[in-house]
Amino acid sequence: MTATISETLVDPTGKPADLSPFQRFVSDFCESKVAVAGAIGVLIVALIAVFAPWISPTNPYDLATVDIMDSRLAPGKQMMSGVTAVVGTDGMGRDMLSSMFYGLRISLTVGAMSGFIALMVGVCVGLTAAYFGGRVDTLIMRVVDLQLSFPAILIALVLLATLGKGVDKIIIALIVVQWAYFARTVRGTALVERRKEYIEAAACLALSHRRIVFKHLLPNCLPPLIVVGTVQIANAISLEATLSFLGIGLPVTEPSLGLLISNGFEYMLSGKYWISIYPGIVLLFTIVSINLVGDRLRDVLNPRLER
């Protein structure tokens, strides 16, 4: 009889029952080879971004060392400083490889920072709306609706036109654009959760609102947030690239990936392909990697898809 009991303890997916939730999550995630490849891609990109100043052959943001006499060198040619430009130089004489490393740094910083802060803001607002309900909920959600009814790029353009240029300003613009998505997502989940017994129980214990919201409600709303968060980081990166491509957002002397692509676009018809193709590939690689991870997270964390 004991044997049958131990058998029923085996998970329907065929995994041993003694795994911790995290181990289980990891093993679920790794079932998809594509997702693992995506995760490795994200890791590579993140490492390059973090260590850019140490692994770049030159510092593309130091105007004292960048020289226009090096401009538009083809891949493999040597620059005046003696460094070989492995993937060529751009129109201002910056080494493309170094520029892409540094550009990746800006893109990821902007994506991650704006995504994270927008998540915090969105979560606070969304949870408040769901937990208190009634007029508070209506008011907050109408603001969210209003914001979501405008295209993200339009809001960002207007904001940057008034704020001016700079990494900090582009992060602010992207937070304003993104928080509403998080608010809406977390509210949806929280509305379901707050009707459950454990919240009622917590309320009966006369716990403070803050404690109930953050210690009980929030942890149970996390899975969809993680998914939306990942996708939003990829969105933020591509939005930043779009804004830079349009020539607003970042200063011209510190190009991010989008600005590098935009600079190269001028040379597309004259055969100097390397100025925009390579940053384009890096941007594509980054966004695809993050999205692959995001897709898999959605599958793994969605209870409805549990096999």
Partner 1 sequence: MRKTFTAFVAGAALLAAAGVSAQEIRIGIAQEPSSIDPHYHNLGPNNGFLSHVYERLVQQDSKQRLKPGLAVSWKPISETVWEFKLRKGVKWHDGSPFTADDVVFTATRAVNVPNSPSSFGTYLKGKTFKKVDDYTVHVSTKDPYPLMATEMSTILIISKKAAEGAQTKDFNLGKAAIGTGPYKFVKWQKGDIVEFVRNDDYWGGKPKWSKIVLKPISSAPTRVAAMLAGDVDMIDGVPTADIETLKKNSKVKLSQGISNRVIYLHMDQQRDKSPFVTDKNGNPMDKNPLKDVRVRKAISMMINRPAIVERVMEGVAIPAGQLVSETFFGHTPNLKSEKYDPAAAKKLLKEAGWGDGFGLTIHGPNNRYINDSKICEAIAQMLTRGGIPTKVVTMPKNVYFKRASRGGPDKSPEFSFILVGWGSGTGEASSPLKSLLTTYDKSKGHGASNRGRHSNPKMDALVVKALATVDDEKRRTLLQQATEVGIGEDQGIIPLHYQVNTWATRPGLRYDARTDERTLAMDIQVVK
Interface residues with partner 1 (CB under 8 A)?
63-64, 66-69, 71-72, 91-93, 165, 247, 251-253, 265-272
Amino acid at 256: S
Q: Residue 95 or 193: which CB sits closer to partner 1?
A: 95
Q: Residue 146 or 252: which CB sits closer to partner 1?
A: 252
Tokens of 204: 């009966």
Q: Residue 71 or 291: which CB sits closer to partner 1?
A: 71
* Whole-number Cα distances in Å, 208 to 108, 128, 188, 269: 38, 14, 22, 65
Tokens of 48: 């390059």
CB of residue 282 to partner 1, shortest distance in Å: 21
Q: Residue 17 or 80: which CB sits closer to partner 1?
A: 80
CA separation for the pair 37, 21 (Å, rounded): 22
* Residue 298: partners with Cβ closer than 8 Å, 6 or more residues away: 227
3-state secondary structure 119-139: HHHHHHHHHHHHHHCHHHHHH
CB of residue 40 to partner 1, shortest distance in Å: 36
Q: Residue 30 or 63: which CB sits closer to partner 1?
A: 63
- In the chain, DSSP finds a helix count (H) and a strand count (E) of 12, 0
Q: Residue 30 or 80: which CB sits closer to partner 1?
A: 80
Beta bridge partners of 84: 78
Taking residue 34's Cβ as centre, other Cβ atoms within 10 Å add up to: 11
CB of residue 66 to partner 1, shortest distance in Å: 6
CB of residue 22 to partner 1, shortest distance in Å: 47
CB of residue 71 to partner 1, shortest distance in Å: 5
Burial class (CB in 10 A: 0-12, 13-18, 19+), 91: middle
CB of residue 48 to partner 1, shortest distance in Å: 25
Which letter does DSSP use for residue 290 in this model? Answer: H
CB of residue 217 to partner 1, shortest distance in Å: 46
Q: Residue 73 or 171: which CB sits closer to partner 1?
A: 73
CB of residue 259 to partner 1, shortest distance in Å: 11
Half-sphere exposure of 272 (CA within 13 A, CB side): 17
Q: Residue 53 or 164: which CB sits closer to partner 1?
A: 164
Burial class (CB in 10 A: 0-12, 13-18, 19+), 121: middle
